Amino acid sequence: MFNDEEIKLLGLSSRENHLLSGLLGEDALLITAIARTTRLKRTTLYSLLDRLHERGLVIKSRRGKRWYWQLAPEKQIQEKLFALAERHRTTPDPHEKELGIIASQDTEYKLYRGQKKLGTIYAELAYLPRGTRLFGIQPNESIASVIKNAPSKIIANINESFKNRGIIIEAILAEDFVEQYVRILRTENIPPAEILRTFGERLAITTYVPKGTLDFNAELIFYGNTLLILDWRELSAVVIKNKNVVGILKAMFDLAKLAGRRVDQNKKVADVIGPQ
């Protein structure tokens, strides 16, 4: 039911994950029905279900003298995952640095440094609420640094999560972005189709701008009131939470789109990958 990263965040054992998978798509069930579905002993199920209930992953309800169990609503689980990812990102690590925080009632600025910190910031994008509209600007200069420092598994998890959660992506890229991406993957001895396949069929609105227009290294991602500035070459990141800052960047984003042309990125990726 959950991918490896989500299992780690939730702290699930293999039996707990198996049990939750058995509850997926089911209405409230009696313990006997759950035992048949999961093939777990009833004595084991009681302790597992109580622990999962305490963690907010299953719902327990009583009808007469009987107790019924069912999986918690997807929104509740996704909110829990997002909160856990946020907590994990802000947990001190002796090998990484959180260089500073400035916060007020409506604004928060955080500066991070280190490969693991950036990887965690990237990975938590997979837990954005369903239907979130995300905006991104990725210059070609950042491609090699991202491929080198961001594990391909994280990128694949993010893309699969975006598809499953219906995340809408608006991106501004250089017109030769895909070609450069493929070239660098091959340089790193990574089969291009292996990564590019995860990019296909996303809800993407992509604008290509002329080569050389995006002449900087940092990658910009923003959604809601949050802006991420990720420099994978220097392994540093700035996270800004401020509605006005994001609003200004969104206005600049819309202006930049006027300098480019809209393309079907899914078709472009499919053409590069070729027949499945």
Question: Each residue's pLDDT tens digit in the chain (276 positions)?
Answer: 677 777 887 888 888 888 888 888 888 899 999 999 899 898 889 888 988 888 889 999 989 889 999 998 887 887 777 777 766 655 555 545 555 566 566 788 888 888 888 888 888 888 888 889 999 999 988 888 888 887 777 888 888 888 888 899 999 999 988 888 888 888 888 888 877 888 878 899 999 999 888 888 899 999 999 999 999 888 899 999 999 999 999 999 999 999 899 998 888 878 877 665
| Cβ neighbours for 165, distance < 8 A, ≥ 6 positions apart | 78, 128, 129, 130, 131, 132
CA distance 126 to 176: 26
| Cβ neighbours for 33, distance < 8 A, ≥ 6 positions apart | none
Nearest to 117 by CA among 235, 240, 231, 241: 235
| Cβ neighbours for 159, distance < 8 A, ≥ 6 positions apart | 198, 199, 202
Q: Return residue ranges of the chain for CATH 3.30.870.10.
A: 75-273
Q: Return residue ranges of the chain for CATH 1.10.10.10.
A: 4-72
CA distance 239 to 222: 10
| Cβ neighbours for 187, distance < 8 A, ≥ 6 positions apart | 144
**Is 4-72 CATH 1.10.10.10?**
yes
CATH of 75-273, one of 3.30.870.10, 1.25.40.340, 3.40.50.2300, 1.10.10.200: 3.30.870.10
